Structure 1
Amino acid sequence: MRDSRNGSGREPVPRARSGMVGRRYPRTGTEPVTARSPLRLRLLLASVFVSLFIAGAVLFAVWAAGADAGDSPGSGPLTFLAVVCGVLALTAALDLRVVLRRLRRERGSTD
């Protein structure tokens, strides 16, 4: 039976099937059904990059505060870099929180 919306001959997969919500076609690859992320590696990387990006944000902010009008780079690009490092530090901190929550859930303790 052909699907009139996309022209393929595959049957749609019902939403009740486990896996990604709204998946339309059955899996064709050899990946595991319940793929897992290497949480310990993510924990290490998030820990390293949180501190690295916080240090970068502080460094660029202090550098921008001390920059004069004729300096190169000026305070504008340094402020931008400080904001980018701050956003990346926040992202790494959120990932660190998610990883810690998942590790805690795997161990069986409550959040």
Structure 2
Amino acid sequence: MRTGSEPMTARSALRMRLWLSVWGLIWAIVGTVAFILVARPGWAAACGLLWVVAIVDMTVILRHIRQGPHYQPGRDVPPYEPVDDRFSHRPPERRRPSRPSHP
């Protein structure tokens, strides 16, 4: 049963993201050095940009890991009840007037 709170209770594999970011950082460094050695400044700049993106990604991931786990309801916590439409602030739906049929 869906509870409607899945985006709020979703978990991310932070350690896997960290290692993928490290892998990308290694390849960005290797690419930057290789393209500098073969005198391709455009490709070296592109790899340098990827290097910066990988560093920022690693920084965000490490920050999330250091924050520690946040409260996540376990299996023993029942799902939220569906929202009752009577108490929502949406305007009532309007029906289109039916067209008269012409013979």
Q: TM-score, normalised by structure 1?
A: 0.54
Q: Cα RMSD (Å) of the superposition?
A: 2.7
The CA deviation at 1:95 is 0.5
Return 5+ residue gaps in structure 2 as ranges: 70-103
1:96 has 2:58 as partner: yes
Deviation at 1:31, TM superposition (A): 3.2
> Matched residues in 2 for 1:91 and 1:60: separation?
18
- Please show how residues 24-43 of structure 1 align to structure 2 within 5 Å: 31-43=6-18
The correspondence for 1:53, drawn from 23, 28, 36, is 28
Unaligned stretches of 5+ residues in structure 1: 1-27, 65-77
The corresponding residue for 1:71 is: none
The structure whose Rg is larger is 2
The SS at the match of 2:6 is coil
TM-score by length of 2: 0.58
Give the drift of 1:30. Answer: 7.3
Deviation at 1:35, TM superposition (A): 2.1
Letter in 1 for 2:15: R
How many residues are paired up? 69
Spell out structure 1 runs of 4+ moving beyond 6 A. Answer: none
Q: State the alpha-carbon separation in 1 of the partners of residues 4 and 68 from structure 2.
A: 27
Greater RCO (CA < 8 Å, at least 6 residues apart): 2
Residues 1:83 and 2:45 aligned together: yes
Q: Distance in 2 between matches of 1:105 and 1:33?
A: 16
Deviation digits for residues 72-103 of structure 1 (CA, Å, limit 9, x no counterpart):
xxxxxx21110000000110111111111111
CA displacement at 1:39 relative to structure 2: 0.5
Structure 2 letter corresponding to 1:88: L
1:38-78 Cα offsets, whole Å, 9 max, x none, are 101110100111111011001101110xxxxxxxxxxxxx2
Matched residues, percent identical? Answer: 42
**What one-letter code is carried by the residue in structure 2 that aligns with 1:35?**
A
